[in-house]
C-alpha cells in the first residue's frame, strides 16, 4: 500500500504532473482560493495549486525532490513478517529507482507482533498503537515542513495516523478512498480484531468510544462530507458478517459503477474533496485491482 503527495503548482500541470500509480495523495489549497485539481484514473496523476516561489523552483527541476519516503513495517494480523516485510520488498524491486530524487527516510519499526486480541478487541494492539503514534508524528512533520510524505508498506490502518495528521495540519481533512472493501466494520461488530477492516468507521466516529489511546483522542478525524469511496465490491462479505453498507451515509461508487466511467467519477470525486476539505489524501488498496 502506498501514500504520496499531490504535486502542487500554479503553472501548467501538463508539464509538472507527478505520476502516482498505486499511491495515496495529500494536497491542500494555497490559502488564497480553492486549488485547481484534476485526476486521470488511468495513471492516477493529480495536481493542485499553491503559492511559494522556492517550492515551485525546486519542484520544477524534479517534483519527486519534495517527497519523504516512509516505510511502515506493520502487519495488522500480527504475522511475521506479513505486510511488515513490504517496505524492504518494494525497495528490492526498485521503489528508490522509480523516485531517485525522493528522500529515503528510516522505516517505522515496531514492537514484535502478536496475534492475540487485546481487551479493546484489536489484534496486535501494541504494534498498532506504536505505529499510529509514530506515523502521525512523521506525516505531520513532513506536512508542516512543506514536504510530502509517501507511506509504503503496512495496511489500511495507517490511515488512522495519516488522516488525523492531515487534519491537524490543514484544519479539515478529506479522503479519496479507493478500496475493494468499505472497511467500516465497527469495533463492536468485528469478528477478527483487524484494525484495517475498521479504519473508516473509526475515522468517521461510527465507533471508537472504547478505543485505546492514542487512537481515541484523535478520533473522529473525518466528516461525512469529506470522504468519497470508490471501487467497493464487498457486499457478499459484509452480508456474511452482518455489517451494513455505509453507502447512504457517505458518497460511495461501487466497482460496478466505477467501471462505467472511471475517469469522470474520479475527477468529480477529486473536485468534490477540493470544495469540501482543506486538504485531502488519496488511499489505494491494491485489492481494488482484482477482478473479484
Average pLDDT rounded to a whole number, residues 41-70: 52
Statement: residue 30 has pLDDT above 90: no
Report the pLDDT value the prediction gives residue 10, as an integer from 0 to 100: 28
Phi-psi region of 183 (alpha: psi -120 to 50; beta: other; left: phi over 0): left
Phi, psi (degrees; rounded to nearest 5) at 150: -115, 105
Tell me the backbone φ, ψ of residue 46, rounded to 5 degrees: -150, 155
**Residues 150, 55, 170, 133: is their CA dihedral positive or negative?**
positive
Compute how many other C-beta atoms are within 10 angstroms of the C-beta atom of residue 38. 16
pLDDT of 113 strictly over 50: yes
> Average pLDDT of 155-164?
97
pLDDT of residue 65: 73
Q: In this model, does residue 216 exceed pLDDT 70?
A: yes
Query: Buried (b) or exposed (e) across 78-101, using 16+ Cβ within 10 A?
Result: beeebbbebbeebbeeebeeebee
Residue 38 has a pLDDT of 34
Question: Does residue 234 register a pLDDT over 70?
Answer: yes
Instruction: Give the C-alpha separation, 277 to 279, whole Å.
Output: 5
CATH H-level superfamily of 4-289:
Ureohydrolase domain (3.40.800.10)
Q: What is the pLDDT of residue 36?
A: 31
Question: Which pLDDT tens digit goes with each residue over 92-105?
Answer: 999 999 998 899 99
Residue 91 corresponds to which cell in the numbers above? 525497495
Of residues 156, 163, 132, the one with CA closest to residue 232: 156
Average pLDDT over residues 108-132: 96
Amino acid at each position: 500500500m502506498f501514500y504520496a503527495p499531490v504535486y502542487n503548482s500554479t503553472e501548467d500541470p501538463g508539464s509538472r504532473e507527478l505520476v502516482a500509480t498505486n499511491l495515496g495523495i495529500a494536497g491542500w489549497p494555497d490559502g488564497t482560493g480553492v486549488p485547481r485539481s484534476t485526476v486521470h484514473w488511468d495513471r492516477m496523476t493529480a495536481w493542485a495549486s499553491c503559492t511559494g516561489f522556492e517550492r515551485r523552483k525546486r519542484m520544477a527541476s524534479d517534483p519527486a525532490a519534495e517527497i519523504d519516503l516512509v516505510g511502515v513495517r506493520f502487519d495488522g494480523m500480527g504475522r511475521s513478517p506479513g505486510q511488515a516485510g513490504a517496505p524492504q520488498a518494494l525497495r528490492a524491486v526498485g521503489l528508490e529507482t522509480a523516485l531517485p530524487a525522493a528522500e529515503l527516510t528510516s522505516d517505522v519499526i515496531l514492537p514484535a507482533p502478536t496475534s492475540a486480541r487485546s481487551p479493546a478487541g484489536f489484534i496486535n494492539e501494541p504494534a498498532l498503537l506504536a505505529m499510529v503514534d509514530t506515523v502521525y508524528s512523521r506525516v505531520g512533520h513532513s506536512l508542516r515542513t512543506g514536504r510530502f510524505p509517501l507511506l509504503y508498506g503496512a495496511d489500511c490502518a495507517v490511515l488512522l495516523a495519516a488522516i488525523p495528521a492531515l487534519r491537524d495540519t490543514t484544519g479539515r481533512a478529506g479522503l479519496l478512498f479507493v478500496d475493494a472493501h468499505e472497511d467500516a466494520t465497527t469495533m463492536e461488530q468485528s469478528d477478527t480484531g483487524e484494525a484495517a477492516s475498521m479504519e473508516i468507521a473509526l475515522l468517521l466516529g461510527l465507533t471508537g468510544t472504547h478505543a485505546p489511546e492514542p487512537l481515541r483522542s484523535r478520533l473522529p478525524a473525518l466528516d461525512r462530507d469529506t470522504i468519497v469511496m470508490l471501487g467497493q465490491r464487498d457486499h457478499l462479505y459484509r452480508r456474511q458478517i452482518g455489517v451494513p453498507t455505509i453507502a447512504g451515509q457517505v458518497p460511495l461508487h461501487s466497482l460496478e459503477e466505477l467501471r462505467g466511467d472511471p475517469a469522470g467519477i474520479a475527477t468529480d470525486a477529486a473536485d468534490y474533496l477540493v470544495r469540501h476539505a482543506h486538504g485531502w489524501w488519496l488511499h489505494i488498496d491494491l485489492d481494488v485491482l482484482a477482478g473479484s
